[in-house]
Amino acid sequence: MLVLGIESSCDETGLALYDTERGLLSHAVHTQVAMHEEYGGVVPELASRDHIRRLIPLLRHVLVEACVEKSAIDAIAYTAGPGLAGALLVGASFAESLAQALAVPALPVHHLEGHLLSPLLSVDAPTFPFVALLVSGGHTQLMRVERVGSYELLGESLDDAAGEAFDKTAKLLGLGYPGGPALAVLAQQGTPGRFSLPRPMLRSADFDFSFSGLKTAVLTAARSRMLSATEKADLAAEFQEAVTEVLVAKALAAVKHCGVETLIVAGGVGANRRLRERLDSAARRQGIRVHYPALALCTDNGAMIAYCGAQRLLAGEKPARRDGAFAVRPRWPLQAL
C-alpha cells in the first residue's frame, strides 16, 4: 500500500511517499524559516499562503524521486491538527481534493501521533510498549505508548513547551528566529555552571514540567549587566543544561514507573545534541534503550504523517466517507484519539 503523507501544520510543508512493503520511498520538506525570520516568529497568514505555493511542486518532487505515478497512490494521510488553522486547512483541502480526484481514501492524522511514531521509521526501530518523550515547539509530554493508537499521558509542561523555552530564551539573547538551534550552537561554545539557573520541578514527584520560570531567570541574568560574548555563551550553556537535566531525569523516571525498557524521543528538541548525549549516557547506566528519529525526521515532515496514516490503515481503520466535507482541529489533545 502506497501512502502519500502531507504536513502543513505550521511553517514547514512536508510531503512523503511511504510504502508498507518497501518503506519510505521519498520525502521532501520546504521550510519557511527565511520568510518568517524578519518578523521574529511565524506569521500565520504568510504560512498558509506559502503552503499553497509549495504543495504541488513538492508533490511532483516526491513522485519523481520515488519513480511512481500519482495513480499508484492508495491513500492520502494529512495533518488535521493541532496547528495553525489556516495552514492546516491548506493541507487538508489539498489532500481531500486529491483523494477525491484519485478516488482513494483520505485520512486525517494527529500531528503529535506522527512525531510519536517517527522513530519507528528507523532501521533499528523500537518495539512496543515504550515511553515517548515528545519535545516540540508546542508540546512537552511524556506518554506511555502501548501500541499504535494507545497513548496514555503521564505528564506534560504546565506552561512553556521545551522548544518554546529554547525559542524565547534565544530571542532574549538576541539570537533571532528560530532560536532553538541557534541557542544550541551558542551553548556549545559556553561552559555550564558559570551562571546558576534553576532546575524547575526536578524533584516534583510527577511527570510534569515547567519551563517559563527558566526563561525569566535568563532574562534577570541578562539584564543584571552587559554580558560579554563569552558570558552569553555560558548563559546559553547553563540554560541548555537546565532544560536537558530535567527532561532526562523525568523521562527516565517515567520509563521506570511504566516498567518498560525503551524510551523514544520525538519532536524538534529531539535534535538537540546535548539532550541526546545526556540521555544516552544516563540510559546506558540504567539499561534503558533510547531511540530517536533520524535527524531529518525530528522536525516537522511528511514522512511521519504518511507512516502514521499507513499504520492506522494497516490496523484496520476505515477512513470515514465525508463526501467532500472535512474539518481541521487546531486544538486537539492526543489523548482524545
Q: What is the contact surface with Zn ion in residues (CB under 5 A)?
A: 136, 300
Nearer residue to Zn ion within complex by CB, 67 or 296: 296
Helix or strand or coil: residue 239? helix
Measure Cα distances from 79 to 15, 73, 99 in Å. 11, 17, 14
The rounded Cα 158 to chain-centroid distance in angstroms is 18
Nearer to ligand KG4, 81 or 180 (CB): 180
Q: Indicate which of Zn ion, ligand KG4, none lies near residue 126 (CB less than 5 to 8 Å, by partner kind).
A: none
Q: Scanning the structure block, which residue is given the C-alpha cell 482524545?
A: 336
Name the residues that contact ligand KG4, by CB under 6 A: 136-138, 163-164, 166-167, 178-181, 184, 267-269, 271-272, 299-300
Residue 272 touches which of Zn ion, ligand KG4, none (CB < 5 to 8 A by kind)?
Answer: ligand KG4
CA distances in angstroms from 130 to 67, 126, 150, 260, 286, listed in the order given:
35, 8, 11, 6, 15
Q: How far is the CB of 256 from ligand KG4 (least distance, A)?
A: 25
Contact 280/291 with Cβ under 8 angstroms?
no
**Least distance to ligand KG4, CB of residue 299, Å:** 3
Shortest Cβ 184–Zn ion spacing (Å): 17
Looking at the Cβ atoms of 108 and 163, the one nearer to ligand KG4 is 163
Residue 157 CB partners (closer than 8 Å, separation 6+): 139, 140, 141, 208, 209, 210, 211
Min separation Cβ 140 and ligand KG4, Å: 10
Helices 273-285 and 179-188: angle between axes, nearest 10 degrees:
70
Beta carbons of 160 and 291 less than 8 angstroms apart? no
CB count in 10 Å sphere of residue 132: 29
Q: Which is nearer to ligand KG4, 155 or 268 (CB)?
A: 268
- Pick 26 or 299: Cβ nearer ligand KG4: 299
302 binds, among ligand KG4, Zn ion, none (CB under 5 to 8 A by kind): none
State whether residue 177 is helix, strand or coil. Answer: coil
49 to 32, 40, 86, 97: CA distances (angstroms): 11, 18, 9, 18
- 262 versus 299: smaller Cβ distance to ligand KG4: 299
Q: What is the 3-state secondary structure (H, E, C) of 66-129?
A: HCCCHHHCCEEEEEEECCCHHHHHHHHHHHHHHHHHHCCCEEEEEHHHHHHHHHHHCCCCCCCC
Interacting partner of 269 out of ligand KG4, Zn ion, none (Cβ under 5 to 8 A depending on kind): ligand KG4
Identify what 167 binds: ligand KG4, Zn ion, none; CB under 5 to 8 Å per kind: ligand KG4
Helix axes 212-224, 162-172, angle to 10 degrees: 10
Choose from Zn ion, ligand KG4, none: what does 178 bind? Cβ within 5-8 Å by kind. ligand KG4
Toward Zn ion, which CB reaches closer, 7 or 238?
7
CB of 136 to Zn ion, least distance (A): 4
- Smallest CA-to-CA distance from 17 within 8, 28, 25 is with 25
Residue 54 phi, psi dihedral angles, 5° rounding: -90, -25
Select from Zn ion, ligand KG4, none the partner in contact with residue 163, using the beta carbon and a kind-dependent cut-off of 5 to 8 Å: ligand KG4
Q: State the minimum distance, in angstroms, from the CB of residue 243 to ligand KG4.
A: 8
Query: 130: which strand partners?
Result: 145
Closest distance to Zn ion from the beta carbon of 197 (Å)? 26
Closest contact distance (angstroms) between CB of 246 and ligand KG4 is 14
Nearer to Zn ion, 55 or 218 (CB): 55
